[in-house]
A and B are shown apart, each in its own frame.
Chain A
Amino acid sequence: MTPSRVLTGMVSLITALALAGAAVAGDLGTLVVNLTTGGFGDRETAINALAASGEPRAAPILEALGAGRLYVRPADKAVVIGKAQGNQLDLTDALTGKPAGTASEDALQRVRINNRLRGVIDDAVGSLTLLSPDPRMRRSAADSLFKQRSPSALPAVEHALAAEKDAGIKRAFAEARASIILASNDASKAQKLEAISVIRGRGDRDAMGFLQAAASSSDADIKAAATAAAGSLNQTLAVWEAAQNVWYGISLGSVLLLAAIGLAITFGTMGVINMAHGEMVMLGAYTTFVVQQVILAYAPGLFDASIVIALPLAFLVAGVIGVLIERSVIRFLYGRPLDTLLATWGLSLVLQQAVRTIFGPTNREVRAPSWMSGSFLVGQIDVTYGRLWIVVFALLVFAVLILVLRKTPLGLHMRAVTQNRPMAAAMGIRTPRVDALTFGLGSGIAGLAGVALSQIDNVSPNLGQGYIIDSFMVVVFGGVGNLFGTLLGATALGIANKFLEPYAGAVLGKILVLVFIILFIQRRPRGMFALKGRAVE
């Protein structure tokens, strides 16, 4: 939709508003039927009448008409919108928006239009959006006008500006108007200077581009004002960009935290590196997959809750397998950490292959529930709901874990064993039981991590492999036996990764971080926040 068409659309809309009172009064059904009958001239009137009706269904119907997807079904004379689905068309009722079965194209009558009508439709749709009852439509119309800066759209924008009640959208229209004025040739200098300050106020990358363009203006005053505005905006933007990177870093950090925290527990308490830890994460992700499949098959209404339902199950699956591993393999290897490392590596191969045999080698799709899709802006920071929930979830798991360690008998025993195993044993703590439960807890948390990771990573048998080195790095970097260190380590590494990426690229950034940690471990083998004392010997 071009701005000039918006303009003509506006004009015809206003005329239509004034003249076609009767048509407005007509119900949607009549308006739509009018679209499909009569000659092209009648249809033009019908289009404008529909646009002027203010009906929410008007926009999709007009769009379908413009795209040649509006049909009449001869059987019942219903007007339907068709969407190609293989050889067939998936139909929706034009009036209600409800599904209306399928049909082959031959069985339907397409509502025909010509090029002239196409233009009329585009304009009508454009003006519909500027004055649409839906605030989101108005906002996006304002934004696209801001970017297009076509002078002919100015009257329409000003009209919409005057009519707008919502302060935020009003501002968006004001910005669109300023952007058009700044680009136009016949605005006055004062208008342009004012426009510069409005655009500066918007403060995003598009604004930056326009200000930079204006900075090459031949007028000295405008040039100076635009240059100054661009300069100050540049700084703001740099701050936003850094903030965005911090957010990405925190988001990555939360993933690292989720993956590492279980390892931190098992490694901190038992000095055991569980190389199959990543596979626990993978099992958690597959549990989510299975839960979602079952829900889709038997209770599709619960779909949005599938992730939440998967959480306890993933914890259980991974936790129970963890306890089994501890009881059947690891307990025979205490005091031989290097052998444990090898045996658990073997376990990881077995688990991977088992999953590959059951679920196949290809990626499985775990879909995002509606409350985890989409994104929003905080200032200039783009935040997706999925990532946000993962950060929240990671912090939640962390907090619960700290509580468990501080407030429950298991936690007390675990800490006792961490600090001095022989002493704890001598005091009557059943260290084998503590070990098994600790291992189960660590594995269970890895399972929880798997639920979260199923939302952002490919659910495949190799899912876990990528996380074991990273997790270990986080644990060591933060300091063994220190969960807050793990939290800080994960965040720091996440942010470092994301800050390096723009300069070095993702892979090189990762390599740099690895090299950094390798050097770091050699300087401080016990991590940032090392426990001192006998425990470390």
Chain B
Amino acid sequence: MSAPRSTSALLYLSGVTVSFDGFKALNNLSLLVEPGEMRAIIGPNGAGKTTMMDVVTGKTRPDEGEVVFDGQADLTRLDEADIATLGIGRKFQKPTVFENHTVRDNLLLALAGQRSWYRLLTAAPTRAENDRLEEILAVIRMRPQQHMSAARLSHGQKQWLEIGMLLAQDPKLLLVDEPVAGMTDVETETTAQVLREINKSHSVVVVEHDMSFVRALGVKVTVLHEGSMLAEGTLDQVSADPRVVEVYLGR
């Protein structure tokens, strides 16, 4: 594979293959995400969407292929912490917040900035950091719950908290895995709004099965199937593609 190493794309995947005991979860997948772009990724269960995010965030090492971030960083050589520090944030399919911490502490932990253990031993939150926390609490509308332990939040509130943590992390690229699973229609609508808001200052990749949500985002869509890209374009374009109807939408 002689693809160019330096590219203008924010995220560049080329020929990525991942196999688990011979089963190819990703098969020669290529994908480009431009700076400032929001991209929706859809595909049937087991298409490899989550695995793709695992590869980008360093959780899973690809057997083959290139993964380049921001035109230079080779993500296949870095570990999760390095990649996060470079500016890639991730929201998991299953919401994971720190249950024993308060809402505010969850956000504080996610807040961009100090990560090294010896600094954190003595560092108290600065004024600027506290201000930023207030801002985020306002955006996710959780100021009243800020001192509540995260374990006592409802499922939807945890989703919101995770989005708040992503905001606090302030990454260049957000990977969001099924953010509206289990949400009411109203919540789904608000989430779409928030994501569009976030997209003003960040690039976003969203994985979702909920078509009305994808439609509400109104962005370019990539369809994955059996580990490779099946189609790409607007939602209307890909919905018209007979292969996509065959493997995914039609069912």
Contacts and interface: CB of A to CB of B under 8 A. Distances in A.
B117 interface: no
Majority secondary structure of chain A interface residues (helix, strand, loop or mixed) = loop
B20 interface: yes
Contacts of B20: 532-533
A392 to B, nearest CB: 34
Interface string A115-132: 000000000000000000
B6 to A, nearest CB: 34
Contacts of B21: 532-533
Contacts of A533: 20-21
A533 B21 CA distance: 7
Interface residues of B, number: 2
Interface string B8-35: 0000000000001100000000000000
Nearest to B23: A533
A532 B21 CA distance: 7
Interface in A519-533: 532-533
A533 B20 CA distance: 6
Interface in A500-537: 532-533
Contacts of A532: 20-21
B22 to A, nearest CB: 10
Nearest to A532: B21
A103 B21 CA distance: 78
B63 to A, nearest CB: 12
B19 to A, nearest CB: 9
Interface string B71-111: 00000000000000000000000000000000000000000
B25 to A, nearest CB: 10
B102 to A, nearest CB: 24
A532 B25 CA distance: 13
Nearest to B22: A532
A186 B155 CA distance: 103
A533 B19 CA distance: 10
A78 B21 CA distance: 82
A532 B60 CA distance: 12
Interface in B18-56: 20-21
A534 to B, nearest CB: 8
A532 B20 CA distance: 7
B59 to A, nearest CB: 10
Nearest to A533: B20
Nearest to B19: A532
Nearest to A534: B20
A472 to B, nearest CB: 25
Interface in A136-185: none
Nearest to B21: A532
A533 B18 CA distance: 12
B48 to A, nearest CB: 14
A122 B236 CA distance: 111
B187 to A, nearest CB: 26
A377 B122 CA distance: 71
A535 to B, nearest CB: 11
B211 to A, nearest CB: 26
A168 B20 CA distance: 60
A492 B244 CA distance: 53
A398 to B, nearest CB: 24
Interface in A195-244: none
A9 B135 CA distance: 113
A108 B87 CA distance: 103
Interface in B100-144: none
A58 to B, nearest CB: 73
A149 to B, nearest CB: 66
A411 B32 CA distance: 47
B5 to A, nearest CB: 30
B18 to A, nearest CB: 11
B17 to A, nearest CB: 15
Nearest to A531: B21
A263 B20 CA distance: 27
Interface of B: 20-21
4 A-B pairs with the lowest CB-CB distances in the bound complex, closest first: A532-B21, A533-B20, A532-B20, A533-B21
Interface of A: 532-533
4 contacts: A532-B20, A532-B21, A533-B20, A533-B21
